[in-house]
Each structure stands twice: as structure tokens, then as C-alpha cells.
Structure 1
């Protein structure tokens, strides 16, 4: 019997016992799953280009999903593939919510980044004022959405929660607001 099948047999037995009400078996199962899930989530994060910092969040979301959906597991089926599928889905969900961002430490570039001179600072201030005037022409909902996500850099989840809207509604507001800003900028530039 391979290590995988022996491990799956033990985990499946613990899950069956947990479903029957054995809290010690459930605790033992979760303790055994945590390191396994870290490895699985790390592989999925690497595969989809998500930073390693996302691994622990994906592990926690997977453990929560397992807890909430444990009653849907078919005891006649192996447990490990079911758990791995949930981990994969949770990692992908986290990456979708995060969007496609690349994180780079700017300390590596501090020697080559030029410090702005006074003229550049003046031009940036004019650009900032123009941007604020354009933002003021948007609806309040679109302006708040863009300020939260694009200017303050909040995640969709945090911004949606702060604004009291769903993530989907926030995405629509940001998209429409950015389209309106582009249209306003084109009109201003003509």
C-alpha cells in the first residue's frame, strides 16, 4: 500500500468519525491536513503566478470550506482528491479576487530611479488637479469606487465592504467610472 493510499485511508476514517460526531478525530484530521494543504496551495499558487504570500490565505479558506462542506463528502470516495479539488478552487478564487498583480520590491531599483526635480513636481500637481476635476464629474458611486480601488489601492473585497455594496456591483462601478473618465479625458484633450 502506498503512502498516499495509507494516508487517505487514515484521513477518510477520521472524516467518517468526525461526521459521526467524534471531535477528537476531526481535530486530528485538521491538524494532519494543514501541512498537506500548504503544499497543495503553494503548488497551485506557483502554477497560476500568485505570490507565495497568498498560500496561507488559501489554506485557511480551504479549511473553512472543508468545515462548511464536510457533509457533502461521499464516504465511499477517497478524501484526498476531494480536499485537493477544494484547495485548487479556493486558490483560484483568491487569485480572481486579487486580480492580476505583480509585486516587485522597489528597493532593488532605488539607485536607478531618479528623484523628481521641481518642474516635474509642478507638472504632477497640475495633472493631479486635472484628475480630481475629472473625478468630480463622475457619479458619487463611480467616484467612490475608483477612489477606493484605483487611488487608495483597496482590494475589491475591502472596498465593497467599506462602501456597503457587493464586489460585483463595485466592479461594475469601477469599470463604468474608468470608461467615463477615459471619455471625459478624450473630450478635454480635443
Structure 2
């Protein structure tokens, strides 16, 4: 399924407002978009492409509340897909160069720290305790439970923008704590 940017943005906005059928439409269109993007960059087998697509869709699902509906959706989706592609390259230890749009993804993968990777294997609850109570609720609601920004904002009596800021700050602190733990 292919949707134009305005139609895809409208579908995702409706999905964030609780319309399940709009979410299905948006995810189908996003899957097709990501699949095409990944196929152009990965000369591997179909399973590799589908793995990256599925990881991207999962990440989009978990981070959907962080997307700002006043901004275009497709660049946000492409950025997440590119990060998942970089993650895949790191795991696979690819030595062939992957260059698209003038970006050397292999070099970028080797030099760009990914905050969410810093949290892999870490005792999340112990680290969540380091955050302020408000940041704990925001991170747990958005990143762990998969709630929408609107739901968390309503539950905590906060503005949606403040929830996004709290999520960013909380994840940044968690990543820093994980890096500090790795150094110890």
C-alpha cells in the first residue's frame, strides 16, 4: 500500500488519536515504504530485509508517541529505518560499504553511539529508580508500556511537549548510567 505524505500523516495522526483502523493503514503503508528503502540499501537475502523492516516497525510502534504531528512523517520513518539498518550492520559485522545519499553508513555505524543500545542487558528497574518520579512515569509509560504521549500527558497532568522533553531527558540519563556501568 502506498500513501502520499499528507495521507500517511493523516492516518498516523488519526491512529495517535485512537483510531485502530487508521493505525493499520499507516503501518501497512510504512511497511511498504521501509521495505523499499531497505531493499535499495541491502544486497542480502529477503530474510535480512524483512528482519530490518520488522525491527523498524516495532521501533515505530514503541516511539510513535514521540512523533510530532506538525512535522512530516516520512523523514521520521526514514531516520528510524536508517538507524535499524545501522544496527543490523553492527550485528552482522558487514565489511562491504553501504553508501546512500552521500552517507557512508558503515563509518556512521562504527562511530555513532545509539542510546537505545546502551540499555541492552541493563537492569531497567534499577536504573529507572535514578530518575525523578515524573521521568520514571514518562519513560515507563512511553518506552516500556507503549502508551501514547497524549495518554501519559493526561495521566500526569502535563503538556504533550513536556512529556516528550521528559522522555528525552530520562532516556538520556538511562543511557549515561548504562555507559557508566560499562566503564566500571
Greater C-alpha radius of gyration: 1
Give TM-score scaled by structure 2 length: 0.48
Q: Which has the higher contact order (CA 8 A, sep 6+)?
A: 2
The TM-score normalised by the length of structure 1 is: 0.47
